[in-house]
Amino acid sequence: MDKEIIRDADRICNHIFDLLGSGDIELGPSLPWHEDFKTGFRWENKFYKWIKIVDLDNAADVKVPWELSRFQHFFTLGKAYWLTNDEKYAYEFRSEIEDWIMRNPVEMSINWTCAMDVAIRAVNWISVIPFFMHSPSIPKFFWENLHASLYLHGVFVRANLENTGEHTGNHYTANLAGLVALGLYFEGFRILQGQSSGSDPAEWLAFGKEQLEKEMFVQSNEDGSNYEASTSYHRLVAEMFMVTTMWCSRNGLHFSDGFIKRLEKMHEFMLRIMKPDGSTPMIGDADDGRYLIVSHYGNWVRNDFRHLLAIAGEFFDRDDFRSAGLCCWEDALWMTGGFKPVSVQMHDDRTSVAFPDGGYYVLRSPEAYCLIRCGELSFHGHGAHSHNDQLSFELNVKGLDFIVDPGTCVYSGDYHLRNLFRSTAMHNTLRIGGREQNDFDEKELFLMREQTFAVCEGFTDHEFTGKHQGYLGKLGITHKRNYKLHGSVMQIDDLLLDASGMEVRKHFTAAFMLAAGVRPVRREKGWLLQHEDVTVTLLLDDTVKSEIQLSWLSNQYGVRTSTRMLVVTGFNSSLRTTIRWD
């Protein structure tokens, strides 16, 4: 582990970064704070409200300079300095901050256009100060300049809260978490009378904590899921709530019992939807968003949420969380100060579970895992981070993925890809009459008004039934789907119903996105799907046609890899798909 930390820190000192799918790039002696270095596009420094952050007519992605300026690589520098006392790491810390402050005057660059990123940057600076505060390479005037910049970060966030839209979400959570962190950091700092509103750190702390208490019950559902309808944004919001709660607790500040119980439920959600291999389905949008990256900076896995379970195991003193997060003990060590050995090795959870508020249903058997998406779009139907994935599913057999969600790939950098990856055709469900489940405008990247209104009609340990109305207003059709999981067989039955509930024939396409490494082989009545040493047989009705098409998967933001999709077409009122394994 020490070697990995040193290796990652040395890469940072050499300005080698891999951000948002860029691959390893040496960025040169002066970091390109204002540039999408993937495309070479550069934003000019000017007043932040005058900067056009998104232009869909070019391929520039504003998330690239934002990501670099979050400074989430700093914790790795701090660990390397702690391990080695090598002043080169302290010098890199100092030089990057001095360069950033000089080239990003307050309110005058692309890195002041999103209060969320301003807050995350401040938190990452604060988190590493203890590593470097006694470095002989860092003079007193540096700390004075850093403190002044941190204070101005707080003033900016307080004046630019991202709570003016239809709904609050992860951006507002980051604003509030940043204000709490800055309020704690400047504890005892007093503002003279006559200063402008929003300039008092004590007020930041009180306001941030009060609002976070409220936002917990706005953004997290009663069943522990997040209302942005994205597993990745659930992880990000849970991380921000958890870190803030721990920092407050250490300073004698506490949230309500209801808040703490809901935070625990958020982690129970992550535990219960986790696959046998420890990964989590990437349902809805995913942009690689993190708050603090305290381990494996260079190679953290985007669909592995176990680092949060390791931390939660210590905070809530729960062995099931600890057991699930055992591989991520370093995160618990840095965030909580220790990692208690698991007293009893917890067995794998093989029970089915429903999260109806969030729209996630998991069927489990001793050998199979099937997650089904059926529920409200994000932000109560706004659809900002939702995909057209109603009644879609993921299937894992004997610890191996066979059918998966395609992921997200990109946002504004390529709106065509953005729309492809959130489309019905890319998900493991039915597309009827060539239409989308929920219509969206191709250039409204974060709006998809709900038309599906999906509901679960029945759920047991072995069966799920649900339907959605996405085609009702367009084609007069409701799509109903039933899953049965018994032993080594999963059966999927699709029905097309008219407004009166009668079956109606219509042209449809059913998609099955194959996981990387799955090899399809045609058979008389279907397909063999082979993955390593496991073979799954997928059987279809005689009345349909099927073929393998090339498609894409995205396991992290900005990256797409080729895969295969099994596409089934037919003209009927029903489709039965039977999946078997030995």
- Tell me what pLDDT residue 348 has: 61
Query: What are the C-alpha distances in Å from 304 to residues 301, 307, 313, 333?
Result: 5, 8, 16, 18
Q: How confident is residue 375, by pLDDT bands cut at 50, 70 and 90? A: very high
d(CA 481, CA 486): 17
d(CA 269, CA 226): 9
d(CA 63, CA 66): 5
CB 481 within 8 A of CB 394: no
Two structure tokens written together for 158: 């307080």
Of 390, 363, 383, residue with least CA distance to 484: 363
pLDDT beyond 70 at 192:
no
Give the residue-averaged pLDDT of 199-218. Answer: 97
d(CA 434, CA 430): 10
Mean pLDDT of all residues belonging to the chain: 96
Give the residue-averaged pLDDT of 29-50. Answer: 97
Residue pLDDT, tens place only, 89-105: 999 999 999 999 999 99
Of 190, 187, 186, 164, residue with least CA distance to 175: 164
Of 486, 482, 503, 512, residue with least CA distance to 494: 482
Read off the pTM: 0.96
Give the residue-averaged pLDDT of 300-327. Answer: 96
Give the residue-averaged pLDDT of 355-377. Answer: 97
d(CA 556, CA 20): 7
- Tell me what pLDDT residue 190 has: 74
pLDDT beyond 80 at 429:
yes
170-185 vs 115-132: helix crossing angle, rounded to 10: 40
Query: Helix (H, G, I), strand (E, B), or coil: what is residue 480?
Result: strand
Distance of CA 439 to the CA centre of its chain: 23
d(CA 241, CA 22): 29
Give me the sign of the Cα torsion angle 369, 437, 442, 168: negative
pLDDT beyond 60 at 194:
no
Checking phi first, is residue 13 left (phi over 0); if not, alpha (psi -120 to 50) or beta? alpha
Residue pLDDT, tens place only, 173-185: 999 999 999 999 9
DSSP string, 278-341: S-----S------S---S-TTT--TT--HHHHHHHHHHHT-HHHHHHTGGGHHHHHHHHS--PP
pLDDT beyond 70 at 344:
no
Q: How confident is residue 286, by pLDDT bands cut at 50, 70 and 90? A: very high
Where helices occur in 187-230 by DSSP H, the ranges are: 201-219
- Tell me what pLDDT residue 189 has: 78
The number of CA neighbours under 13 Å toward the Cβ of 311 is 28
- Tell me what pLDDT residue 195 has: 64
Q: How confident is residue 197, by pLDDT bands cut at 50, 70 and 90? A: confident
Query: Helix (H, G, I), strand (E, B), or coil: what is residue 380?
Result: helix
Return the beta strands (E) in 441-488 as ranges. 455-459, 463-468, 478-486
DSSP state letter for 111:
G
Residue pLDDT, tens place only, 404-423: 999 999 999 999 999 999 99
Residue type, 22: S
Q: How confident is residue 193, by pLDDT bands cut at 50, 70 and 90? A: low
pLDDT beyond 80 at 350:
no
d(CA 484, CA 198): 56
Q: How confident is residue 378, by pLDDT bands cut at 50, 70 and 90? A: very high
d(CA 76, CA 72): 8
Give the residue-averaged pLDDT of 333-354. Answer: 82
pLDDT beyond 70 at 428:
yes
CB 568 within 8 A of CB 540: yes
- Tell me what pLDDT residue 345 has: 60
pLDDT beyond 70 at 262:
yes
Where helices occur in 186-300 by DSSP H, the ranges are: 201-219, 231-250, 257-272
Burial zone of 480 (CB within 10 Å; 0-12 exposed, 13-18 middle, 19+ buried): buried
Residue pLDDT, tens place only, 430-485: 999 999 999 999 999 999 999 999 999 999 999 999 999 999 999 999 999 999 99
- Tell me what pLDDT residue 198 has: 84
d(CA 453, CA 438): 10
